[in-house]
């Protein structure tokens, strides 16, 4: 059955199935091409009549992950220019206003889209939450640093989408005064930046950071990737010159410069930069309620499929510690608690704590508002990925069938029930169901068959990082 909703830009036609209304590919800003390329998002023009919102719309220009990650994290590519669009799932029969979750996908700021089947919002709508998923500009188009273009264009897109939600979500039974932003990996990093700046103030009231911590660089650091691409393209490093380059050629250059980098091993990439507009240098402490956490073995998504887990030996580990100015005492501490572990495991565990668990704990320590921490610990049998990066998403969305490339076919439904229920509760009440962060440092550990709150897990290892001058 079709259903009509009226937005400020015009009417849209969605579809109702099994009591859930879905509206797909609603534009929230003008297509970022032509005169709008490498510029801040512009308002979308209104339309007459009823616009169909029945199929996913164009995705931001990108390239798929390199093998074998492309099989584990399959992406969706839909051609077209109107890539600044969003999707909505809402209960068809319930009276509003209902809590809203806005999902910001991850992908190292260069991959991903809201059309990925794993992000289907039907389970949230089934449980009384309006789920909105958004596309935003990626890679050099969204986060390349140029002297003649605004910085953080992908973040500006996210702000434009959140503004659209504030202005229009009531037409879909959503409550504009009860919006939770939720993101994973680069989506969580984006949310951390949005919390820091004034431009997004008041557009959301709670936030969920999954496997992503606050992370910014200077404009000079952020511009290095553009300069490397410009050298390969043999053009000046300006937005005007890049806009004149064929899109496929631009993606070829981007892939050549950043295609093999990853969050654990590092390498050239795209970053959110401090620009004193969207992202201030000295941000105030965010006042929104916050749910944050990571997966116990984040590193295994990159170390296992690539074979790096077995290639890292004792010498490689020592060289990595020297390069990062990390004392051998820290490594000895990790070895002592993991007897017999391979050097690659030790390096990966340290990288996970240095990049994610430590920063998230410090963020929780610094905040005056209610904060809740979790850890996802269930281990996937697929390729021995363990509790790797991105594994928790199918559980949060209660959409295990769509996540089988990472979880395998026998992922525990009770664990999905528990995680999904916690996210629904947080969006609805601000309380996911376990004690808020305090001096006891409670962490909800999601595992199967056992789950529960643990106080200050592996605290000695986290404290070792605080003693380093990094």
What digits encode the pLDDT tens for the residues 379-414? 999 999 999 999 999 999 999 999 999 999 999 999
Share of residues in the chain with pLDDT > 70 (%) = 99
Q: Which residues are catalytic?
A: 185, 298, 389
Question: Taking the CB of residue 342, how many other CB atoms lie within 10 A of it?
Answer: 16
Residue 470 has pLDDT above 70, yes or no: no
Average pLDDT, the chain: 95
| pLDDT of res. 36 | 95
| pLDDT of res. 152 | 98
| pLDDT of res. 130 | 98
Residue 337 has pLDDT above 60, yes or no: yes
- Tokens representing 443 are 């962490």
pLDDT digits (tens, 9 = 90+) for 435-446: 999 999 999 999
Give the integer Cα–Cα distance in Å for 437 and 443. 8
Q: Residue 277 to residues 24, 165, 281, 368: CA-CA distances in angstroms?
A: 31, 22, 9, 24
Question: What is the radius of gyration, based on Cα positions, of the chain?
Answer: 22
Residue 368 has pLDDT above 80, yes or no: no
Please check whether residue 274 is in contact with residue 216, taking contact to mean a CB–CB distance below 8 angstroms: yes
Please check whether residue 434 is in contact with residue 442, taking contact to mean a CB–CB distance below 8 angstroms: yes
Burial class of residue 387 (count of CB atoms within 10 Å of its CB; 0-12, 13-18, 19+): buried
Q: Residue 295 to residues 319, 356, 358, 375, 389: CA-CA distances in angstroms?
A: 26, 9, 13, 6, 6
Please check whether residue 278 is in contact with residue 162, taking contact to mean a CB–CB distance below 8 angstroms: no
Give the integer Cα–Cα distance in Å for 457 and 468. 20
**Mean pLDDT, residues 65-70 taken together:** 91
SS3 310: helix
Neighbour-count burial for 236-250, b at 16+ CB within 10 Å, e otherwise:
ebbbeebbebeeeeb
Give the integer Cα–Cα distance in Å for 88 and 8. 16
* Bridging pattern class, strands 371-376 and 289-295: parallel
Residue 469 has pLDDT above 60, yes or no: no
Closest Cα to residue 136, out of 245, 260, 40, 278? 40
pLDDT digits (tens, 9 = 90+) for 78-125: 999 999 999 999 999 878 799 999 999 999 999 999 999 999 999 999
Share of residues in the chain with pLDDT > 90 (%) = 87
Instruction: Determine if residue 146 is left, alpha or beta; phi over 0 gives left, psi from -120 to 50 gives alpha, anything else beta.
Output: beta
Closest Cα to residue 144, out of 133, 155, 132? 155
pLDDT digits (tens, 9 = 90+) for 209-225: 999 999 999 999 999 99
Range of weakest confidence among 34-43, 185-194, 282-291, 451-460: 282-291
Domains of the chain: 2-466 (3.40.50.1820)
C-alpha count within 13 angstroms, C-beta hemisphere, residue 298: 23
Please check whether residue 157 is in contact with residue 136, taking contact to mean a CB–CB distance below 8 angstroms: yes
pLDDT digits (tens, 9 = 90+) for 413-468: 999 999 999 999 999 999 999 999 999 999 999 999 999 999 999 999 999 887 77
- Tokens representing 450 are 């056992």
* Choice between 104 and 315, residue whose per-residue pLDDT is larger: 104
Give the integer Cα–Cα distance in Å for 308 and 304. 6
Q: Return phi, psi of residue 273, to 5°.
A: -110, 150
Q: How confident is the model at residue 331 (pLDDT cuts 50, 70, 90)?
A: confident
**Mean pLDDT, residues 179-203 taken together:** 95
H or E stretch at 248: helix 247-258
């Amino acid at each position: 059955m079709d259903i009509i909703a009226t937005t400020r830009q015009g009417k849209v036609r969605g579809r109702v199935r099994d009591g859930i209304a879905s509206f797909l590919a609603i534009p929230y800003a003008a297509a970022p091409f032509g005169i709008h390329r490498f510029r801040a998002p512009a308002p979308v023009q209104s339309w007459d009549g009823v616009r169909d919102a029945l199929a996913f719309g164009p995705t931001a220009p990108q390239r798929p992950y390199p093998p074998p990650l492309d099989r584990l994290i399959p992406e969706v590519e839909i051609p077209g220019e109107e890539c600044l669009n969003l999707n909505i799932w809402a209960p068809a029969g319930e009276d509003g206003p209902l809590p809203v979750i806005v999902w910001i996908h991850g992908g190292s700021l260069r991959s991903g889209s809201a059309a990925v089947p794993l992000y289907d919002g039907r389970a949230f709508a089934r449980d009384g939450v309006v789920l909105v998923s958004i596309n935003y500009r990626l890679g050099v188009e969204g986060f390349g640093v140029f002297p003649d273009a605004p910085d953080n264009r992908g973040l500006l897109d996210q702000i434009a989408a959140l503004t659209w939600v504030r202005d229009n979500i009531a037409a879909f039974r959503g409550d504009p005064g009860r919006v939770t932003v939720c993101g994973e990996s680069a989506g969580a990093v984006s949310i951390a930046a949005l919390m820091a700046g004034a431009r997004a103030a008041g557009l959301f009231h709670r936030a969920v950071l999954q496997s992503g911590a606050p992370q910014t660089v200077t404009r000079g650091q952020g511009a290095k990737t553009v300069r490397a691409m410009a050298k390969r393209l043999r053009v000046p490093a300006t937005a005007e010159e890049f806009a004149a380059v064929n899109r496929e050629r631009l993606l070829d250059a981007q892939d050549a410069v950043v295609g093999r980098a990853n969050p654990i091993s590092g390498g050239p990439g795209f970053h959110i930069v401090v620009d004193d507009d969207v992202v201030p240098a000295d941000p105030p402490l965010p006042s929104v309620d916050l749910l944050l956490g990571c997966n116990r073995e984040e590193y295994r998504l990159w170390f296992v499929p690539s074979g790096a887990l077995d290639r890292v030996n004792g010498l490689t580990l020592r060289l990595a510690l020297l390069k990062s100015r990390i004392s051998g005492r820290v490594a000895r501490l990790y070895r002592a608690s993991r007897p017999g572990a391979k050097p690659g495991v030790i390096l990966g565990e340290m990288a996970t704590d240095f990049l994610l668990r430590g920063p998230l704990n410090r963020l929780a320590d610094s905040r005056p508002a209610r904060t809740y921490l979790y850890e996802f610990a269930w281990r996937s049998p697929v390729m021995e990925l363990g509790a790797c990066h991105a594994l928790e998403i199918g559980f949060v969305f209660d959409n295990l069938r769509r996540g089988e490339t990472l979880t395998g076919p026998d992922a525990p439904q009770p664990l999905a029930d528990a995680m999904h229920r916690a996210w629904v509760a947080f969006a609805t009440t601000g309380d996911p169901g376990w004690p808020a962060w305090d001096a006891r440092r409670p962490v909800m550990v999601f595992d199967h068959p056992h789950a529960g709150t643990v106080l200050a897990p592996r605290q000695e290892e986290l404290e070792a990082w605080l003693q380093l001058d990094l």
